[in-house]
Amino acid sequence: MSVESITGPLTTESGAPVGDNQNSETAGIGGPGLIQDQLLIEKLAHFNRERIPERIVHARGAGAYGTFTVTADVTKYTRAHFLSEIGKQTETFLRFSTVAGSLGSADAVRDPRGFALKFYTEEGNYDLVGNNTPVFFIKDALKFPDFIHTQKRDPYTGSQEADNVWDFWGLSPESTHQVTWLFGDRGIPATLRHMNGYGSHTFQWNNEAGEVFWVKYHFKTDQGIKNLTQDEANKLAGEDPDSHQRDLRESIERGDFPTWTVQVQIMPAADAAGYRFNPFDLTKVWPHEDYPPIEIGKLELNRNPQNIFAEVEQSIFSPHHFVPGIGPSPDKMLQGRLFAYGDAHRYRVGINADHLPVNRPHATEARSHGRDGVMYDGRHAGQKNYEPNSFGGPVETGRPLWQPATVTGPTGEHVAPSHAEDDDFVQAGNLYRLMAEDEKERLINNLAGFISQVSRDDIAQRAIENFRKADADYGKRLEAAVQALRG
């Protein structure tokens, strides 16, 4: 712990010494309060404004600073400076989170975990805003608000409703892969240290020569995978709602720094059109036999934030925060996210969110012509606030961060292109068949426990049919388990 104590007289927010912090001022002994009691009014008013809106998703989280170290030469794939040399180190900040729960919810729940990583590089901050799962429930950003509404509280009952969750998943068969993952053993990690992280989307890397590669990031935990069963989690969530946050902080306090081995799968741009799966479909993985993961670095978490509100609650991560050599892919989910996060930050933290200590670049400085707004700190002093200018201000480089994409055809609400082996079920079935018999058993029980709470047979049945399409045995066993529970 390195929490410094502040000494000297107590003051008001404007620095005037406080004479009495125990008794507010009244008109006479036992009389009513006075408006001239600046201290009382200031304290109550400040207190009323202590909260900012919680994140609309991923509200509950814990974070830590760390170091990323390059362990392989990837310069033939990307010109990103922080990846330019074996041994090169970059400061990072990682925020873990659950997705659906609100700020005060418990850690030990069945939910994907956010894995939002900020690299403070010399070319600006690079954010990789991923999850602990390599895939996601849907493949078009247009469906995200509807999806999240089904995960959150019902407008009438005020609770999460099995009806809404299974209605949406049943009607969105592309969710079958991610739902199989979520209700399997990895759906409730034992700690934040004992799980993997994934960039999940496909991203563009481009090298000095302008050649393009598509990449997927994997962060493999060096602590080993450890999970909780549903029963263990139910107990822990009641006994210690902060279990994950506490575990992370305490492990760093005792010098037991968690590490992850960072790997990428790399696809040459020319492969994308003919690949057996749409490589930009977030509901699909790239099987490792197609593109074997190669190790490129180590991530270590080694420093706790000193103030949770300032550094975790006010931290912001955006899939749009790229650096030269890295850019987006045409994944329709990613494209939506490129807008959504900056917009959320401007609403939740304010227009100057990027300039708070946790969010600002640490290895360079932001030299934009953006100015003013709420909580502007005057960092630009009297510098000119426009460009081009004749006074020696910052100028454009003439080179985009990523390479342009070639597009053809009419605009329209197009379904993403389907590749030779694409359907909504093939990879869900493969995942099911990979599981050992005891994991299959737990998966079926976890799913059946939830589906059996659905009030309408047609909604339950439609949900089960998706699993049957993934694997006949999967569907048969699930149907029997749901029937047994529904009686």
Q: Determine the Cα–Cα distance for residues 454 and 165; give it in Å rounded to an integer.
A: 9
DSSP structure string for 256-302: ---EEEEEEEEEEGGGGGG-SS-TT-TT----TTTS--EEEEEEEEE
Interface residue with ligand HEM, options 333, 443, 444, 481 (CB under 6 A): 333
Cα 319 from Cα 116, distance rounded (Å) = 9
Pick one of 139, 337, 362, 442: the residue that binds ligand HEM (CB under 6 A). Answer: 337
Those residues with Cβ within 8 angstroms of residue 411's Cβ, 6 or more apart along the chain or in another chain: none
Interaction residues for ligand HEM, span 199-218 (CB under 6 A)? 200
Query: What kind and span of H or E run contains 376?
Result: none
Paired tokens of 189? 């990690």
Which of 60, 79, 81, 95 contacts ligand HEM by CB under 6 A?
Answer: 95
Nearer to ligand HEM, 181 or 341 (CB): 341
Integer Cα distance of 162 and 150 in angstroms: 9
**What angle, 0 to 180 degrees and rounded to 10, lies between the N-to-C axes of helices 144-151 and 162-171?**
150
Q: Which stretch binds ligand HEM (CB under 6 A): 35-43, 57-65, 189-197, 412-420?
A: 57-65
Other residues' Cβ atoms within 10 Å of the Cβ of residue 274: 8
219 binds ligand HEM (CB under 6 A): no
Stretch that binds ligand HEM, among 124-132, 228-236, 238-246, 298-306 (CB under 6 A): 124-132
Instruction: Establish if 93 lies at the interface with ligand HEM (CB under 6 A).
Output: no
Q: In terms of CB distance, is 126 or 474 closer to ligand HEM?
A: 126
Task: Map the footprint of ligand HEM across residues 286-325, applying CB under 6 A.
Answer: 315-317
101 contributes a contact to ligand HEM by CB under 6 A: no
Q: Is 106 a binder of ligand HEM (CB under 6 A)?
A: no
Neighbours of 300 (CB within 10 A): 18
Pairing label, strands 124-131, 113-121: antiparallel
Q: By CB under 6 A, what part of segment 342-381 binds ligand HEM? A: 344-345, 348
Q: How far is the CB of 180 from ligand HEM (least distance, A)?
A: 17
Q: Is 124 left (phi over 0), alpha (psi -120 to 50) or beta?
A: left
- Residue 240 in tokens: 């210690």
Nearest-angstrom CA–CA distance, 282 and 264: 16
DSSP-assigned letters across all residues of 312-362:
IIT----TT---TTEE--S-HHHHHHHHHHHHHHHHHT-TTGGGSTTTS-S
Is 341 assigned to a binding site?
yes
DSSP letter string, 239-256: H-TTHHHHHHHHHHHTT-
Q: Which residue's CB is nearer to ligand HEM, number 50 or number 231? A: 50
Among 217-225, 270-278, 337-345, 412-420, the segment contacting ligand HEM (CB under 6 A)? 337-345
150 in contact with ligand HEM (CB under 6 A): no
**Contact indicator for 248, 112 with CB cutoff of 8 Å:** no
Contact between 134 and ligand HEM per CB under 6 A: no
Given 125, 131, 164, 304, which residue is catalytic?
A: 131
Residue closer to ligand HEM, measured from CB, 143 or 298:
143
Q: How far is the CB of 122 from ligand HEM (least distance, A)?
A: 23
Q: Looking at 60, 61, 128, 241, which residue binds ligand HEM (CB under 6 A)? A: 61
Q: Which of 480, 451, 477 is nearest to 463 (CA)?
A: 451
Catalytic residue list contains 414: no
136 binds ligand HEM (CB under 6 A): yes
Instruction: Supply the minimum distance, in Å, between the C-beta of residue 141 and ligand HEM.
Output: 3
CB-count burial class (<10 Å; 0-12, 13-18, 19+) for 426: middle
Closest to ligand HEM by CB, 194 vs 462, is 194
For the chain, the maximum distance between any two Cα atoms, rounded to a whole number of angstroms, is 85
- Give catalytic status of residue 234 as yes or no: no
Indicate which single residue of 341, 432, 467, 474 sits in contact with ligand HEM (rule: CB under 6 A): 341
Token code pair at residue 294:
């190669």
Complex with ligand HEM: residue 94 or 447, whichever CB lies closer = 94
Indicate whether 144 belongs to the interface with ligand HEM (CB under 6 A).
Answer: yes
Nearer to ligand HEM, 90 or 283 (CB): 283
Q: Which residues are annotated binding-site positions for heme?
A: 341
Kindly list the residues in this chain that would bind ligand HEM in the complex (CB under 6 A).
Answer: 55-58, 61, 95, 97, 114, 116, 129-131, 136, 141, 144, 200, 315-317, 333, 336-337, 340-341, 344-345, 348
Q: Which residue numbers are catalytic?
A: 58, 131
